[in-house]
Structures are given as structure tokens and as C-alpha cells.
Amino acid sequence: MTRRDEQHSTQTLERTETERPRLFRVLLLNDDYTPMDFVVLVLRRYFHKAEQDAQLIMLAVHHKGQGVAGVYPRDVAETKVAQVMGHAQREGHPLRVVAEPEASE
């Protein structure tokens, strides 16, 4: 290459593919003691659900044993689990909340 060619040469930058973070479903689990109103309150306060959506999720928890409160990246899901479990504990309710990985596509 001549000196002039070096001035006009280009470099190729490779971009690495970034993967989307794995998502986790936050599930509310049924028990025989936590009041339905408290489950609705939790869904509205921590998951920002509308009243009607919160009622439907609460009924899924009651009738099917569990309901999906939301789907989030791992750190957000774990934070929401801790917040809800702490609130339930302070109120004396045995509500269980878990985060599980969403099925891979």
C-alpha cells in the first residue's frame, strides 16, 4: 500500500450481538388464609394493575393455585418478590410469591 492508500483505508468494527436478559415470571401462590382483598391490594400497589386486572389475577390465584403478577428481568422480579413477601409478613399473611424463569423461546 502506498502512503496515500493508507490515508483512505477503512477499518471494520465488529458489533457483538447482545442477548436480551432472561425474563422471570412473578407468581402469587394460593393459600387458605390470605384475604382476597390483600392480594388485590398487592397487585395494584406493587405491580400497578388496574382494579379489574387485579381481580382477575386474584381469581386465578384462588381457583388455579397461582397467578402471574408480571414478567420482569431477574433483578426486578426478585425485588418485587422481596417487597411483597415483606409486606405480607408485616400484615401477618402467609402469602407466597416466587419468581421463576420464563420458558425459552
pLDDT tens sequence across 35-71: 999 999 999 999 999 999 999 999 999 999 999 999 9
CA distances from 83 to 14, 28, 76 (A): 42, 13, 11
Prediction pTM value = 0.81
Convert the pLDDT of each residue in 71-89 to its tens digit.
999 999 999 999 999 999 9
pLDDT exceeds cutoff 60 at 93: yes
Confidence (pLDDT) at 17: 81
The pLDDT, as a whole number, for residue 16 is 78
Please provide the average confidence, as pLDDT, over all residues in the chain. Answer: 91
pLDDT average, residue stretch 9-27:
83
- Would you say 76 and 84 are in contact if contact means Cβ atoms under 8 Å apart? no
In 3D space, the residue among 30, 36, 89, 92 whose CA is nearest the CA of residue 63 turns out to be 30
Q: Phi, psi at residue 2, to the nearest 5°? A: -85, 165
| Whether the predicted pLDDT of 5 surpasses 60 | no
Cα dihedral angle (47, 53, 59, 60), rounded to 10 degrees? -70
Q: Is residue 20 classed as helix, strand or coil in its secondary structure?
A: coil
